[in-house]
Amino acid sequence: MYYKEVDKRYREVMAAFLKKHYRYHTMNSWNKSNSYANNIKLYNIDKPADIDSNKCWEMIGVAQWQEKLSSLLEDFGKKHNWLWQAGINGRSGGYVVLYRGGIKPSGYKSYCIHCGQKNYQAVVDGEVGICGRCDARARVNFKQTHMQVFTLPGKEVDMHWDFDGWTLSDLRERVELVQDFDMLSDDLVAAYFDICRNYRITEEEILVPKTIKVLEPIV
């Protein structure tokens, strides 16, 4: 649906593909920055005949779909070493947008193996690391430098380029990136319809833990 073949032998064909590609805001309309994007709103997509329309709309807010969506977006970022990432934007989350980003040291030195709480202080050799959140004696140092992914949502992508000064190699690289982004958009739609086709929504009652204050005798 979104992916298009592009003849990468010709500069003008590649430039035309990039110039004509759908675009959307990287933040808000007032920010005036935009990037390559695709409209994935349900009313914009050709729904398979075997998918119930009402069910299709209900699935959007289900936690399992949101987890699947996050996983697909994360896989795209990992594939591009987080220099390029895909995210959802728009008032109703109806657009998938290509973002710039990266990865850098987070500054965390240790973490609690009991609750996962991270800490900027390293555990000194020979000492017991106590977690500041759960008080467990289970804080250990990261074996490798802990890295943190960052996104640049206000950064535009190719907004003002006419691509005349780009080399053929650079043009091909950008076209292949955008094609990969378009394939991701196709994968998002396919995954969503797959869930609609193979699952139904049911209600399940869960017990939510609640912290309360109680009296404890002083020993």
At 102, give phi and psi (nearest 5°). 175, -170
At 112, give phi and psi (nearest 5°). -90, 125
For residue 5, the model assigns a pLDDT of 97
State pLDDT tens for residues 74-106.
999 999 999 999 999 998 889 999 999 999 999
For residue 179, the model assigns a pLDDT of 98
The pTM score is 0.86
Percent of the chain with pLDDT over 90: 71
For residue 215, the model assigns a pLDDT of 82
Helix (H, G, I), strand (E, B) or coil at 48: coil
For residue 101, the model assigns a pLDDT of 97
- How many separate helices (H) and strands (E) can be counted in the chain? 4, 8
CA quadruple 66, 67, 72, 78: dihedral sign:
positive
Is the CB of residue 80 less than 8 Å from the CB of residue 98? Answer: no
Contacts of 147 (CB under 8 A, 6+ apart): 103, 104, 105, 106
For residue 214, the model assigns a pLDDT of 87
Is pLDDT at 161 greater than 90 in this prediction?
Answer: no
Provide the residue ranges of all domains of the chain, joining segments of one domain with +.
Answer: 1-100+152-219, 107-145
Residues forming a β-bridge with 147: 105
List C-alpha distances in Å: 176 to 92, 108, 129, 147: 28, 35, 47, 27
Q: Which of 6-10, 38-42, 58-62, 164-168 has the lowest mean pLDDT?
A: 58-62
Mean pLDDT in the chain?
93
